[in-house]
Amino acid sequence: MLIVGGGIAAYKALELIRQLRAKGASVRCILTAGGAEFVTALSLSSLSGDKVYGDLFNLTDEAEMGHIELSRDADLLVVAPATANLLAKMTSGIADDLATTALLATDKPVLCAPAMNVRMWLHPATQRNVRALRADGVSFVGPDEGDMACGEFGPGRLAEPPAIVEAIGEMLAAGDKARPLAGTRVLVTSGPTHEPIDPVRYLANRSSGKQGHAIAAACARAGAEVVLISGPVALPDPQGVLTIHVETAREMLTATEEALPADVAIFAAAVADWRPDREGDAKIKKTQGAATPDLSLTENPDILATIGARKKARPKLVIGFAAETNDVVANATAKRTRKGADWILANDVSPASGVMGGDLNTIHLVTADGVEDWPRMGKDAVADELAQRIADAIGDRRTAGAVKA
| Contacts to ligand CTP by CB under 6 A | 189, 249, 267, 269, 271, 273, 300, 302-304, 320-323, 335, 339
Nearer to ligand CTP, 70 or 249 (CB): 249
Smallest gap from Cβ 320 to ligand CTP, in A, equals 3
Residue 29 three-state SS: strand
Nearer to ligand CTP, 88 or 334 (CB): 334
Among 52, 75, 84, 47, smallest CA distance to 158 is for 84
Q: Are 30 and 54 in contact (CB under 8 A)?
A: yes
Give the C-alpha separation, 344 to 334, whole Å: 10
Smallest gap from Cβ 253 to ligand CTP, in A, equals 8
Give the C-alpha separation, 229 to 252, whole Å: 7
Nearer to ligand CTP, 98 or 186 (CB): 186
Instruction: Confirm whether 150 is a catalytic residue.
Output: yes
Smallest gap from Cβ 126 to ligand CTP, in A, equals 56
Give the C-alpha separation, 268 to 215, whole Å: 9
Smallest gap from Cβ 284 to ligand CTP, in A, equals 25
Q: What residues contact 390, with CB distance under 8 A and at least 6 apart?
A: 181, 184, 186, 219, 264, 317, 319
Residue 289's identity, in one-letter code, is: G
Smallest gap from Cβ 26 to ligand CTP, in A, equals 40
Nearer to ligand CTP, 221 or 339 (CB): 339
Residue 231's identity, in one-letter code, is: G
Burial of 260-298, coded b for 16+ CB within 10 Å and e otherwise, reads: bebbbbbbbbbbbeebbeeeeeeeeeeeeeeeeeeeeee
Among 84, 319, 380, 345, smallest CA distance to 187 is for 319
Nearer to ligand CTP, 30 or 341 (CB): 341
Catalytic residues: 150
